[in-house]
Amino acid sequence: MHFVEAKGILSAANGINIYRGCTHGCIYCDSRSSCYNMDHAFEDIEVKINAPQLLDKKLASKRKKCMIGTGSMCDPYLPAEKELKLTQQCLDIIEKHGFGAAVLTKSDLILRDIDILASINEQSKAVVQITMTTFDEELCRIVEPNVCTTKRRFEALMEMKKRNIPTVVWLSPFLPYINDNEENLAGLLEYCAEAEVKGVVCFGIGLTLRNGNREYYYSALDKHFHGLSDIYRREYGNSYEIVSRNNKKLMSILNEFCDKHNMISDINKCFSYLNDYPDKYEQLSFF
């Protein structure tokens, strides 16, 4: 881990990334791809130590309230966050300035900040997004080795439900010959229904591979799934999009299930839901 003083923190799309790099160890991680030009080892987390101060200044001068997102490029609840508490401070600042928050993570450490999230949600809107890929707990420990397993993430969703904090689940990626099967999808969808999530984000049954993450993924396959990397090379070559043979069938199961349980499965509608800042705060501050 190393520390930097960042120049800016809020992207044009109102997203923040407090950390760069990740230690959760997901074997399929796209953020490892060479195109992101990371100038340090992926596990050597870059910490933007002045992120809260930058965000405070930025939000103080921002005229229109909106949702502030975090978690798209790296997890805001890395183990390092336990001590550093930068994500927590940023949430406090979001709350102080009356903005909304949309947080994406795989870690149950988010439960530490549940009171702040509940308060943001009462004031305007907070949405907790959790990624779940693998229902089988043993398999989950192989594909996402350094973060809590899916069952614990489901428990975190249930805690959010108790506090009326809306949730969205990212069902992504599905790894051909590993978790791209009906049994896995059914288990994950049952978790979503029980937690009464607002929606699921699923771009299709498959994953993306490009230089950097492909090599890492194949070496993990060689370690844990003997012979599978050869099958991938044969079937997919150097393709960026790796689409499962079960894509059509599983997507139709997913869409049907979501319709039946009142969960948004349309990607655009899901992103609209995540980005929409409710006008209730604007109205309150007007009066």
Helix (H, G, I), strand (E, B) or coil at 101: strand
Q: How far is the CB of 217 from ligand SF4 (least distance, A)?
A: 11
Rule CB under 6 A: say whether 104 interacts with ligand SF4: no
Region from 6-14, 23-31, 81-89, 234-242 binding ligand SF4, contact rule CB under 6 A: 23-31
Indicate which single residue of 9, 74, 168, 188 sits in contact with ligand SF4 (rule: CB under 6 A): 74
Q: Is 173 left (phi over 0), alpha (psi -120 to 50) or beta?
A: beta
Indicate which single residue of 31, 50, 72, 247 sits in contact with ligand SF4 (rule: CB under 6 A): 31
Residue 147 has phi, psi (to 5 degrees) of -140, 165
Q: How far is the CB of 134 from ligand SF4 (least distance, A)?
A: 12
- What is d(CA 207, CA 273) in angstroms, rounded to the nearest whole number? 24
For ligand SF4, the closer CB: 45 or 91: 45
Q: How far is the CB of 22 from ligand SF4 (least distance, A)?
A: 3
Region from 26-34, 56-64, 109-117, 248-256 binding ligand SF4, contact rule CB under 6 A: 26-34
List C-alpha distances in Å: 260 to 123, 257, 278.
31, 5, 26
For ligand SF4, the closer CB: 26 or 263: 26
Q: How far is the CB of 106 from ligand SF4 (least distance, A)?
A: 5
User: In 3D, which of 134, 126, 177 has the Cα closest to residue 153?
Assistant: 134
Indicate which single residue of 9, 26, 54, 197 sits in contact with ligand SF4 (rule: CB under 6 A): 26
Non-local CB neighbours of 18 within 8 Å, separated by 6+ positions = 9, 47, 48, 51, 70, 76, 86, 87, 90
Rule CB under 6 A: say whether 75 interacts with ligand SF4: yes
Region from 22-30, 178-186, 189-197, 252-260 binding ligand SF4, contact rule CB under 6 A: 22-30
- What is d(CA 202, CA 263) in angstroms, rounded to the nearest whole number? 12
List C-alpha distances in Å: 30 to 9, 104, 238, 272.
22, 15, 15, 24
Rule CB under 6 A: say whether 153 interacts with ligand SF4: no
Rule CB under 6 A: say whether 45 interacts with ligand SF4: no
- What is d(CA 190, CA 287) in angstroms, rounded to the nearest whole number? 43
Rule CB under 6 A: say whether 20 interacts with ligand SF4: no
Q: How far is the CB of 96 from ligand SF4 (least distance, A)?
A: 28
- Whether 58 and 96 have beta carbons less than 8 Å apart is answered as no
What sections of 68-181 are H helices per DSSP?
Answer: 81-84, 86-96, 114-123, 137-143, 150-162
Indicate which single residue of 9, 16, 18, 22 sits in contact with ligand SF4 (rule: CB under 6 A): 22
User: In 3D, which of 175, 250, 284 has the Cα closest to residue 258?
Assistant: 250
Indicate which single residue of 9, 16, 18, 29 sits in contact with ligand SF4 (rule: CB under 6 A): 29
Chain residues binding ligand SF4 by CB under 6 A are 22, 24-26, 29, 31, 74-75, 106
